[in-house]
Structure 1
Amino acid sequence: MITTEWEERLAEAWARLDDLPEPEFLMLIEKLVEELAPDHPVALFERACALDSTGHSDLAVPLYERALERGLPGIRRRRAAIQLASSLRNVGDVPRSIAILEQEREAPSDELDDALAAVYALSLTAGGREREAVAVALTALAPHLPRYQRSTANYARLLR
């Protein structure tokens, strides 16, 4: 069962990502997810994240897929879709990456919109659609600018 205490320990483990050698970090995450059922969607997702964050996109893809198939809940579901798409781009399946991200762009807006836009722009670039990628990136950036938001958004529309 996932408790607040478990989530806190997980956050502490993730905070150590850059400080631990890869095998030690992977083992730390593994020990935490072993507290859940083996096919628990959150366990699958966290294993995928750990592998992905240590450069093993190829191993992360099937875990993200299984986590999503098993009904990964909440914000983790959206994170899994974005991260799966990113991993697919990394392993060369750009068309599938773009398809996942385009479907995800139709989902209700949330705090991951800009992350989705960033991965989408990267995937579009990998797919040879650089002009569209710049438009996506500028559209995501425009609201954060201290000035020129309207102009930047208009220029982004023109690029499409």
Structure 2
Amino acid sequence: MEGTAAPNWHESITELWANAKGRDPDEVLAEIEKLVAGHERDPLAAFELAGAYDYAGQEARAEAPYRRALSGGLDPEHHQQAVIQLASTLRNLGRATEAADLLWAELDSTLVEPYAAAARAFLALTLLDLGEERRAAVVALEGLRDSLTTYAGPVGRYLDDVTSSDLDDEEEEEPPHVFNG
């Protein structure tokens, strides 16, 4: 077509993801592998490939491209997505402690919505895997509190009560990591 430029590989992947629901995950993966071929040094291509491996249930293959993407320098939005997705992958691979460490570090950095809420949700799930139900509840409630338009004040005060009593109960242990953001 005259005057119409062919979409670049990333636009094609964005469109593919938008229409992936209900499609065979292995077909989606194969298409993404084709689209990123020749772009192996691009951190965004590594991120997309890792996501496709996850989508196809091949978490063990997803870890390395997520790490390449993160070390290659993604823009802030994709960086946050990659950390959350890598942590989810590690959790699925039975490495919940490593996943929790990644998510704690990300939550201590500057997260923007919707990624802060997503990171908290995945961290709560990971803490449940680690048998830390109370910490999981606090993390989940902090995320919920931040999205409340009504009752945010009372929920925040109740959370302060819960977390301060947790600190009193665990004076001799290392205090739980609690964020107030």
How far apart are the structure 2 equivalents of 1:33 and 1:130? 40
Aligned to 1:110: 112
Q: Out of 3, 13, 17, which is 1:14 matched to?
A: 17
How far apart are the structure 2 equivalents of 1:146 and 1:74? 27
How far apart are the structure 1 equivalents of 2:76 and 2:151? 34
Verify the 8 A CA contact 1:136 1:156 in the aligned structure 2: no
Larger radius of gyration: 2
C-alpha offsets along residues 1-58 of structure 1, whole Å, 9 cap, x if unaligned?
A: xxx854432221001222311221112211221252x232111110100111222222
1:33 alignment partner AA: V
C-alpha offsets along residues 38-84 of structure 1, whole Å, 9 cap, x if unaligned?
A: 23211111010011122222211111112112223331111111111
Verify the 8 A CA contact 2:80 2:111 in the aligned structure 1: no
1:61 alignment partner AA: E
TM-score, length of structure 1 as denominator length: 0.88
How far apart are the structure 1 equivalents of 2:42 and 2:149? 43
The count of corresponding residues between Structure 1 and Structure 2 is 157
C-alpha offsets along residues 93-148 of structure 1, whole Å, 9 cap, x if unaligned?
A: 11111111111111113121101111111111111111111111111111323422
* Percent of aligned pairs sharing the same letter: 36
Structure 1, unaligned runs of 5 or more: none
1:5-84 correspondence to structure 2 within 5 Å: 5-36=8-39, 38-84=40-86
Structure 2, unaligned runs of 5 or more: 1-6, 164-181
